[in-house]
Structure 1
Amino acid sequence: MTELEELVAGFPGWSIWRSRADDGPGDWYATRRGHRLTRAELVAGACMTVAAETLDELRRELDEQTGRSAAR
């Protein structure tokens, strides 16, 4: 299983994709699917979409977001 496949499997509530830049691949993004954030989640710092330069950084962002959503 690739690192991307592991990330997708580990965060089923998120759509994960990579942008395209003029000079090649761009940053990685993840957007929540099927969940509208509550006011409490927003106050706790939860985001609908997160971005990172690498998949490892994106995994850390998603881990952090999971904690912020659970703090509702």
Structure 2
Amino acid sequence: MSPDPRCSALKSAMEKQGLDYAGLGKKIGKSEKHVEDICTGASRPTDAEFNALSEALGISNVPHTGVHSTV
């Protein structure tokens, strides 16, 4: 079983859309492992990845600080 995302809004959006890390990865053109690493905080997304994840999940107005920071 994959670990939950660090962000509760991200977890909720993934559940609402019926997506797991693999499905989200397909939507943004990244591997399941890379998406999991971003969502669990093991790695930081680039601005482009952050925006692609937000768009794929229909999330807007997300801060780029704390657990939402990018590289």
State the TM-score, normalizing by the size of structure 1.
0.26
Higher normalized helix content (fraction of residues): 2
- In our comparison, the structure showing a higher alpha carbon Rg is 1
Point out which structure has higher relative CO (alpha carbons under 8 A, 6+ apart).
2
TM-score by length of 2: 0.27
